Homo-oligomer: A and B are copies of this chain.
Amino acid sequence: MVELENTFKALGDGNRIRILASLLSRKELCACQIHEWLGVSGATASKHLNILMRVGFIKSRKNGRWVFYSMNSDHRSLQTLVRWLKKEVTTSLELQKDLQGLEKVTACSLIELRRKQRLKASVS
């Protein structure tokens, strides 16, 4: 029951729904891309990603310093829920418009993106 509760709790946050929406529309995204697109700090994005990983919605892989996240299709009992969510995301004009922001985030290389983020962070 705690597992069930935590599954729904994980989904009960707008930014975590957005993360899943982004990973349902792109095969894989880097932590820095997700944090950029979400518009929150890297630390906050990391926390959200961890919650979604612990519940089993997403998985990650490392490539050197880079961490990539994607949907986890291994957790069988969640797939119906994920399919339902995907349908809701697909039919939401608001979320579809939100996802357009991913174009810009994924248009440059990760190195370039991080360079811009570090620059922006030093200004504030």
Contacts and interface: CB of A to CB of B under 8 A. Distances in A.
B12 A8 contact: yes
Given A4-B17, A8-B17, 16 more contacts: A1-B14, A1-B92, A1-B95, A1-B98, A2-B14, A5-B12, A5-B13, A5-B14, A8-B9, A8-B11, A11-B12, A77-B88, A80-B80, A80-B84, A81-B81, A81-B84
Contacts of A98: 1
Contacts of A1: 14, 17, 92, 94-95, 98
Main SS class of interface, A: helix
A88 B17 CA distance: 21
Interface string A1-37: 1101100110111100100000000000000000000
A99 to B, nearest CB: 12
Interface in A69-90: 77, 80-81, 84, 88
28 contacts: A1-B14, A1-B17, A1-B92, A1-B94, A1-B95, A1-B98, A2-B14, A4-B17, A4-B88, A4-B92, A5-B12, A5-B13, A5-B14, A5-B17, A8-B8, A8-B9, A8-B11, A8-B12, A8-B17, A9-B12, A11-B12, A12-B12, A77-B88, A80-B80, A80-B84, A81-B81, A81-B84, A84-B84
